[in-house]
Structure 1
Amino acid sequence: MIRIPARPDPDAAAPLELRAPQPGDLGWIVERHGATYAAELGLDQRFEALVARICADFVDRFQPGREACWIAARGAERLGSVMLVQARDEATDAPRPGVAKLRLLLLEPHARGLGLGKRLVRQCSDFARQAGYERIVLWTQSGLTSARAIYAAEGYRLVHSAPGHGFGIDVVNETWELALR
């Protein structure tokens, strides 16, 4: 057997950065959420479809200075993502004044433990304060213990929890909130 030596990764020495999305990044967010959560939690394609709708809404409703998306990257390698958007009433779709919503926090499995999740969540908090929001809300599931720990460390508090069935599995849905003032 002939072994071909591995080429060094040119991005290995590059600094970790949080950057604005570039072409292809939103598609990456959809793909990685679908693949990662299917592998780790058993979520079905309905979850990937939800992520696609969230990304489409981000583009369609984008308000510069009030909404943002960040990609955690090392060189050309994408390692994670998060969005902060105007929160909307679920029944009417009307904007909720003073309320932002954290969406789509994700870290590649090999990028966990580098502090990127904390940086992404803190970036949302800092941006929301500068944009004049009074609070941030988010939806998660109880099984995402690492993400929940990041939210708690940032000062979020659990405000609602309810069992449900979604995306092909039984879940405990949670709403968390961070007061900014």
Structure 2
Amino acid sequence: MYIAENDALPCGCIAITHTDDGTAQIRFYFIEQELRGRGAGHQLIDRAIDFCRDAKYGRIFLWTFSTLAAARHLYASRGFQMTDSHVNNDWGEPVLEERWELAL
């Protein structure tokens, strides 16, 4: 897990978990609202991708919501492609979840 800081206070995080041979999952990716658009999210996703490359993973995937346009744009800019989507009703109202993958 990587933690982003602003003035020595945590302002974001990203975690990488091992799912099977050659595949990692990005989880718990979050940036505080007031710091979005300032580059911290780019730094975290780049750090996670670099870690996965160094660890010799062949693929990374993550799940996100279709409504998170800025996040989806960031993933696409790093080479991720949407590979699956489905409606999930576990959040209290239906949301479209998307799986994005990056081959390393």
TM-score of the superposed pair, with normalisation by structure 2: 0.95
What stretches of structure 2 of length at least 5 have no aligned partner?
A: none
- By how many angstroms is 1:164 displaced? 2.4
Please tell me the root mean square deviation across aligned C-alpha atoms, in Å: 0.9
Per the alignment, residue 85 of structure 1 pairs with: 17
Q: Say which structure is richer in helix.
A: 1
Structure 2 partner of 1:119: 43
Q: After the TM superposition, which residues 91-170 of structure 1 pair with which residues of structure 2 at under 5 Å, given as runs?
A: 96-170=20-94
Runs (5+) with no aligned partner, structure 1: 1-68, 88-95
Q: Distance in 1 between matches of 2:39 and 2:7?
A: 17
Superposed structure 1 runs of 4+ greater than 3 Å apart? none
- Alpha-carbon separation, structure 1, partners of 2:77 and 2:59: 16
Instruction: Output the amino acid matched with 2:46.
Output: R
* Secondary structure in structure 1 of the residue aligned to 2:75: helix
SS state of the match for residue 37, structure 2?
Answer: coil
The structure that has the greater radius of gyration is 1
The offset of 1:79, in angstroms, is: 1.1
Question: How many residue pairs end up in the alignment?
Answer: 104
Identity across matched positions, percent: 38
SS at match of 2:22: strand
Q: Distance in 2 between matches of 1:156 and 1:114?
A: 21
Q: State how far apart, in whole Å, the 1-side matches of 2:6 and 2:33 are.
A: 14
Which structure has more strand as a fraction of its residues? 2
Alpha-carbon offset, residue 159 of structure 1? 0.2
Alignment partners' CA distance in 1, 2:52 and 2:99:
18
